[in-house]
Amino acid sequence: MVTPNPETSLQSSLADKNDNNNIQGFKNARVDELLPIYDTTFSVAEQIKIINEIDKITYDYYMKSHWWNPKGIRLAVWDKFGMPEYGISRFTQLSYVYGTADSSGGMMVRRLGSC
């Protein structure tokens, strides 16, 4: 398998199937012709020509095919209960701090070390 491998995200046979990388439903006969040639070509210069042609077709066909993923995530938070003073994250609590009950029934905290 050659890297980059456009077959997994641009092959027409995957366009109407679920659970694959062709999430945009891209179908193009010329790209389908180029994919097997790209996989069997040993010349790096020829592979670059083929991948450039595939990129041009996909960009001309559907402009968002190369930047469908958002650059950031917008998040709204309702601070209903406030923030604790210590400010430790929930992941740190799970991976760094280990709590065990001592003989008096209280909680004894033992550090495991950095993970």
φ, ψ for residue 27 (rounded to 5)? -135, 130
Could you tell me if 8 and 21 are in contact, meaning their C-beta atoms sit under 8 angstroms apart? yes
- Predicted confidence band at 111 (pLDDT cuts at 50, 70, 90)? very low
Give the number of domains in the chain.
Answer: 2
Q: How confident is the model at residue 75 (pLDDT cuts 50, 70, 90)?
A: low
Alpha helices (runs of H) in 1-115, residue ranges in sequence order: 7-10, 29-40, 44-61, 90-95
114 falls within a domain: yes
Supply the range of the domain harboring residue 61. Answer: 7-66
**Mean pLDDT score across all residues of the chain:** 72
Rounded distance between C-alpha atoms, residue 26 and residue 28, angstroms: 7
Q: Is 6 exposed, middle or buried (0-12, 13-18, 19+ CB in 10 A)?
A: buried
Crossing angle, helix 44-61 and helix 29-40, to 10 degrees? Answer: 160
| Residue 77 belongs to a domain | no
Per the domain annotation, does 19 fall within a domain? yes
Is 70 exceeded by the pLDDT of residue 96? no
Distance CA(48)–CA(56), nearest Å, equals 12
Closest CA to 110 of 100, 59, 102: 100
Q: Does 37 fall in a domain?
A: yes
> What are the tokens at 113?
């070390």
Please indicate, yes or no, whether residues 40 and 89 belong to a single structural domain of this protein: no
54 with 97, same domain? Answer: no
CA 15 – CA 56 distance, rounded (Å): 19
Question: pLDDT of 23-48, one tens digit each?
Answer: 778 899 999 999 999 989 999 999 99
12 and 58 fall within a common domain: yes
Are residues 90 and 56 located together in one domain of the fold? no
Question: Are residues 99 and 53 part of one domain?
Answer: no
- Regarding whether 88 and 61 lie in a shared domain, the answer is no
93, 48: one domain: no
Q: Classify residue 51: in a domain, yes or no.
A: yes
